Structures are given as C-alpha cells and as structure tokens.
C-alpha cells in the first residue's frame, strides 16, 4: 500500500492486517506503551470541511506515534483554488512524510495521490470515507468476536460512508443490506463491485423490515450531509420512515448493535433512546478512529517495523 484512497484498492489481507495492527496499538496504548513508529515524521492535514473526530484523531495519533501533524489548509478555501493540486503535492512531498485530506471533491484526493510521491490518506470525500469503516470494522470485531458472516443493515441515505461499506464488503465476507428511500440509493459503482467481487451477500431494498431482519448491527448517518443543507427539510420528510428508533431496533436481532459515524442529528435519523441506549456503540466507533488511523499511518509512513 502506498496510499489509502479507497478500500476497493486494498486486498482482504491488507484490510485485516490494518485491523490487527489497530487492535494491537489500542491494547499497547492502554498499557501505556506508545511505540515511536513515526518518530520525527510529519503529516500534513488538509481540511475543506469542519471536523472533530478526523482532526483530533489524526493529530493525536501522530503525537502518540512520535511524530507531529500540521494543519495547512482550512475549510475557507477549496484545494486547488490558490494553486494547482499538482503544485501542492510537489511542494508537500519535499517537506512532509504524508498527507491526509478531507475534501468535498473525491477527485481532489485522487489527484493529490497521483502527483505526490509521499502517501496520501483519504480523511473523507463526498464519495468515500475509508478510515471510518476501518474504525467501524474494528468496533464490530470487538463486540461480535469476528466479521465473517455478520449481517450489517444500512438504513437511510446511500452516502459516502455507505459506499465505503460496499467497498469493504467487496473484500471481507460480510452480509450487507442497504435500505434507502427510492432515489437515494448508494452509488452504483461500489454497490455493483461488492455484488460482483464480494464473498458475502450485498443487497439493496426499500423495505425496512426486510433489511433489518436478522441484522447483527444497524448503521445510519445524517440524512443531509455537508453541502446538502438546502435539501435538509425535504430530506427530513422523505427519510422520516427510515428513522432508527426502538421499533426499528426490535426488527433486528435482540442484541443488535446501533452504529453511527457521528455527528448525529438526534431525534431525526436516530432517537435519543437508541443512540444513548445500551446497544449503541457510537463512542466506541469514535474511539477506534484513533487506533485505526494510527494503523494506517504506521503502515503507509513507517519503516515496516513494530518497535517494542
């Protein structure tokens, strides 16, 4: 692996290796062990969108691995506006050891990776969010004991997180059901790839009860993503039947987990009773962003050793 732009670019072995590394780094941190795998190295962080989890976990992760992170771009200016993306890439590769970019345009991150000789990590684009799925998969593995054969039900908008789950399902044999309102389906390319290449099953439906039956976990996200604020009122009306509430949770397995990548619009896509309930693992997911991203940075920017 040179970059992490999409999980579709990874093999099953690479994905599982990252999860193993994340779990190891998490346990070592709890014991007070912070291996300096990235000592003296620097990560440049580019943000076009507001961020809590992405910024704090990448910055903290670099610190814990012995390196440092620099915020070099803000949401006030799109990447490629002040100077071309190739020029940005060629400058940064002379100074830092890796780039993390959180952008609107997916192509902007692709272009960064194409022109930079150093690793580029997709911190989120309008199309994909691979780091989130690694954290989610780590969370599922911790709570369910494994990943093979689990059923994950996606309920809501077929957005960038959902697309990344399809890419994950193309590599790791899970059963993924995507349930959206008509017209809000997940992007065709990752969905069809998962159906074509996945060892599990990947299905789409508009029927909530069908999607949730036998689910080990129910996942939802905000109904209007950043940049879709003008659609929010209309989306609330359309998506209202797809809210994850206690009735929806009762359609899944009795011990089914509730998942959300956050931030959540409480009492819209999920009720307070569910997100604050005993089956919610949303803060475990948030915590695991730190460990999953440390594994990614160590794999891409490290020297291949696992000191200590």
Query: Is residue 216 annotated as part of the catalytic site, yes or no?
Result: no
Annotation says 228 is catalytic: no
* Distance in Å from the first CA to the final CA of the chain: 23
Helices 282-301 and 130-144: crossing angle, nearest 10°? 120
129 is catalytic: yes
Collapsing DSSP to helix, strand or coil, 252 comes out as coil
**Cβ-based neighbour number of residue 26 at 10 Å:** 18
Q: Residue 83, SS3?
A: coil
Tokens of 165: 């789950």
Active site residue: 261, 279, 285, 293, which one? 261
Residue 120 contacts residue 98 (beta carbons within 8 Å): yes
Which position among 64, 289, 291, 293 bears the catalytic label? 289
Compute the distance between CA of residue 294 and CA of residue 273 in angstroms, rounded to an integer: 32
Distance CA 287, CA 143 (A): 14
CA distance 308 to 306: 7
Q: Please tell me which residue in 10, 64, 97, 102 is annotated as part of the active site.
A: 102
**Residue of 53, 73, 106, 129 marked catalytic:** 129
Measured CA to CA, the distance from residue 273 to residue 288 in angstroms comes to: 23
Q: How far apart are CA 185 and CA 180, in angstroms?
A: 6
Report the candidate in 2, 226, 227 with the shortest Cα–Cα distance to residue 112.
2
Distance CA 170, CA 55 (A): 28
Active site residue 279: no
- Which residue in 64, 132, 243, 293 is the catalytic one? 132
| Residue 132 a catalytic site member | yes
Q: Which residue has the tokens 């998942």?
A: 259
Residue tagged active-site, from 221, 260, 279, 291: 221
List, by residue number, the catalytic residues. Answer: 102, 129, 132, 221, 261, 289
């Amino acid at each position: 692996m040179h970059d992490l732009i999409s999980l579709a670019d990874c093999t099953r072995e690479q994905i599982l290796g990252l999860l193993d590394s994340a779990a190891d780094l998490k346990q070592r941190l709890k014991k007070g062990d912070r291996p300096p795998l990235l000592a003296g190295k620097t990560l440049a962080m580019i943000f076009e969108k507001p961020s809590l989890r992405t910024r704090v976990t990448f910055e903290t992760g670099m610190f814990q691995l012995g390196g440092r992170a620099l915020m070099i771009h803000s949401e006030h200016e799109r990447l490629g506006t002040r100077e071309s993306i190739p020029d940005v890439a060629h400058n940064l590769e002379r100074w830092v050891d890796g780039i993390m970019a959180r952008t609107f345009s997916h192509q902007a991150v692709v272009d960064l990776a194409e022109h930079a000789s150093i690793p580029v990590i997709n911190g989120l684009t309008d199309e994909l969010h691979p780091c989130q799925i690694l954290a989610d998969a780590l969370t599922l593995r911790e709570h369910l004991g494994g990943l093979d054969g689990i059923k994950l039900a996606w309920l809501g908008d077929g957005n960038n997180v959902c697309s990344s789950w399809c890419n994950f399902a193309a590599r790791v044999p899970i059963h993924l059901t995507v349930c959206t309102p008509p017209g809000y389906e997940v992007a065709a390319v990752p969905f069809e790839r998962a159906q074509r290449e996945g060892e599990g099953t990947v299905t789409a439906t508009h029927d909530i009860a069908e999607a949730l039956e036998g689910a080990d976990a129910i996942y939802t996200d905000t109904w209007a993503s950043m940049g879709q604020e003008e659609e929010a009122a209309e989306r609330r009306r359309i998506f209202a039947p797809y809210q994850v509430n206690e009735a929806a949770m009762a359609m899944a397995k009795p011990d089914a987990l509730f998942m959300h990548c956050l931030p959540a619009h409480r009492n819209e896509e999920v009720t307070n009773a569910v997100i604050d309930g005993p089956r919610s693992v949303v803060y475990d997911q948030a915590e695991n962003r730190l460990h999953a991203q440390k594994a990614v940075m160590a794999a891409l920017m490290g020297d291949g050793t696992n000191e200590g």
